[in-house]
Amino acid sequence: MARDRRYDVLFEPVKIGPVTARNRFYQVPHCSGMGRQFPTSSAVMRGIKAEGGWAVISTEQCDFHPTGDVRTQIRLWDEKDIPTHARMTELVHRHGSLAAVELCHPGHHSASFYARETPIAPSPIPVRAPFPGQARAMDRQDIADFRKWHRRAAVLAQQAGFDIVYVYAGHAITLLMFFLSRQYNQRSDEYGGSLENRARLFRECIEDAHDAVGESCAVAVRLAVDELLGENGMTAGAEGRELVEMLAELPDLWDVNISAWENDSATSRFAPEGFQEQYIDFVKSVTTKPVVGVGRFTSPDSMVSQIKRGVLDFIGAARPSIADPFLPKKIEEGHLDDIRECIGCNICAAYNNASVPLRCTQNPTQGEEWRKGWHPERIAAKNTDDSVLIVGAGPAGLEAARALGQRGYQVLLAEAKTEIGGRVIRESRLPGLSAWSRVLDYRATQLRQMANVKIYPGSPMSISDVLETDCSLVAIATGASWARDGVGRTLHQAVPGAGSSNIYTPDDIMADVEFEGPVAIYDDDHYYMGSVIAEMLRHKGLDVTLITPSSVVSEFSTYTLEQEHVQAKLLTLGVRIVPQQNLVAVSADGVDLACVYTGKPRHVEAASIVLVTSRIPNDELYHALLRDEAVIKQSGIDKVTRIGDCYAPSIIADAVYAGHKYARDLGAEAPEEVPFKRELIELTPDY
């Protein structure tokens, strides 16, 4: 299929100092959760993005001195670190792309746990981690040393094969940003006070990098032009603009965004596509150098608009490149319907923050490229004559059907409801979650193109229905239902009064069951469900109290960078938040609680109670089929398997992964005890 000529501008080469990017698709620096522990996994993952058409592939933040040790990230301390980076640059270059490294010293943002060096900062300040200790103020010798370390890191990066070296001052997590910031820089010497003074070290590092590697490497700057702190911080309308004007022609490329990370990587629940334009649109007007910015871009029309209106020269992406590493190639080849659009859920950030390899709701191969050999676009052709019945067209069933169909298997996908999508379609109708429907949209589009996959909505399956399909394999993907008895992370037995008629669950809310207020929501799930239900009910005009045993609402959303946004939204809407309370009993007039620390009792009046605690697998059909193995075998069914929430309720990303894994494993040899390749530490002889 030919490319739509409207998108030709996206495939123009762009010069960045001494190097040239083959198109305008730029994977900006993003964490991988792999860090220095899993360098091959990280290298292969980024190499696949180059294969997918991204012209520039960047690392995550790369610390370059023990005083700025970040134990979960990559490092470039000395020559011993070069081989791991060279592995990545070689794979990126293999596909004609440029490799960029984001050199970073986190200052007081790091407590230097591994290295046990004293952190450094522009001025004395406690380290950000919730641990005792402070960073010391840098003297002139420290500043000179910092410049030396940064320059050496640029040279090491060049030796490792990088084409672009970053000078990084963004996200409120870097020493250079702390020097720029009036909040953190209280110095009275030539590195403090005026913006020109606060920017002195930033300027010097850019000049040092140019001097050290500028003949062969581009020097890029990453800068947060607005801290979203109003007059208390840098803003695009004042110092942010002044700084870009001051240094306009010094770097070879401007990579501009906002800070902190939770604002720069805002979820789709709180920010639309292209949301950063209002902060960064001035940059191209004050520099002749190319500009890259982000905005969770997935629409090629939005991308073209950014270029033609003079907002950006490069379409920057982190999360969209994770959801679809082949997004550029699909646009180039005219396969727009095959794009897996990022849903902006930040599950990728969550698992990086948990110090494990990224995972993605849309892309189940993310993080498995090397260790399991999973390619995002290629999958082995079928190697058995099996036909497969999948019962349930939720995220697990849809992905299993899609991947099995891609392999060439004959698939029947039966869904009891009249519309497919399962929990995805229900949850995407909740406030702020409409983009989550892309999980269904992508898979439904793919399935419609597959003659070997038949979809039967409105088809509840009984045992006899299953037996009559003549399929040799059956996958039960019938999802899960929210518990009505209060059992969850905190309560392990049914709460007294759980049979009361005024108890509801998220399933009732999503089914638009009518009930009276005031409403008490007990959230022991700690992710999005409790808060979006509170938001939804407030929009309906009901009085809402959200109760949680945690210290904050939606505690897990700290990992997805949303927690502060969630709590602020609920408070703005007038939702009463009652934290640190265990559920003791429910009754017709409300809920009895007890402080999680002291046990002090408390009663919250409510006409209706919503329990958001745990989910129970809908596995009745699975167990019914297994009760008579003889009948199953006689009907020609070789195996019945549970997948997704029907097997173990979890997040949507895990359900999609489960469906994909089922499809990949079909016909494969039984895995070893450890079902993936591991990167093992090589013991050194000098112990």
- Annotation says 108 is catalytic: no
Is-cis flag, bond preceding 115, omega within 30?
no
Contacts of 20 (CB under 8 A, 6+ apart): 13, 14
Give CB contacts under 8 A, 24+ apart, made by 273-282.
273/297, 273/298, 273/299, 273/302, 274/302, 274/306, 277/306, 277/311, 278/236, 279/225, 279/226, 279/236, 279/240, 280/225, 280/236, 280/256, 280/311, 281/311, 282/236, 282/241, 282/244
- The tokens describing 136, both together, are 């010391």
- The tokens describing 120, both together, are 């450094």
Answer yes or no: are the C-beta atoms of 625 and 640 closer than 8 Å.
yes
At how many degrees (to 10) do helices 563-573 and 529-539 cross?
20
CA atoms within 13 A on the CB side of 615: 20
Distance CA(529)–CA(22), nearest Å, equals: 43
State how far the alpha carbon of 347 is from the alpha carbons of 32, 280, 359, 470, 612, in Å: 12, 26, 7, 38, 20
Helix (H, G, I), strand (E, B), or coil: what is residue 438? helix
Distance CA(160)–CA(74), nearest Å, equals: 13
- Annotation says 168 is catalytic: yes
Is-cis flag, bond preceding 685, omega within 30?
no
Contacts of 620 (CB under 8 A, 6+ apart): none
E strand residue ranges, 159-290: 164-169, 218-226, 253-258
Angle (CA) 547 648 546, round 5°: 10
- Compute, in degrees rounded to 10, the torsion defined by CA atoms 154, 159, 164, 167: -10
Helix segments in 309-394, DSSP class H: 319-323, 327-332, 347-353
Catalytic residue among 65, 85, 171, 210: 171
Angle (CA) 209 215 221, round 5°: 40
Catalytic residue among 208, 226, 264, 324: 264
Which of 583, 564, 427, 455 is CA-nearest to residue 520? 583
Distance CA(419)–CA(19), nearest Å, equals: 51
Burial 620-635 (b: 16+ CB within 10 A, else e): ebbeebeeeeeebeeb
- The tokens describing 368, both together, are 């498995």
Q: What is the DSSP letter of 684?
A: P
- Annotation says 145 is catalytic: no
CA 561 to chain centre: 9
Tell me the DSSP string of 292-309: EE-S----HHHHHHHHHT
- The tokens describing 4, both together, are 């739509």
Catalytic residue among 7, 26, 30, 31: 31
Contacts of 632 (CB under 8 A, 6+ apart): 467, 625, 626, 640
Distance CA(29)–CA(220), nearest Å, equals: 12
Answer yes or no: are the C-beta atoms of 437 and 393 closer than 8 Å.
no
Burial classification of residue 496, based on how many CB atoms lie within 10 Å of its CB (0-12 exposed, 13-18 middle, 19 or more buried): middle
Angle (CA) 20 96 341, round 5°: 95
Catalytic residue among 26, 166, 168, 527: 168
Angle (CA) 530 535 537, round 5°: 95
- Annotation says 345 is catalytic: no
**Any bridge partners for residue 455, and if so which?**
413
Q: Could you list the active site residues?
A: 31, 168, 171, 264
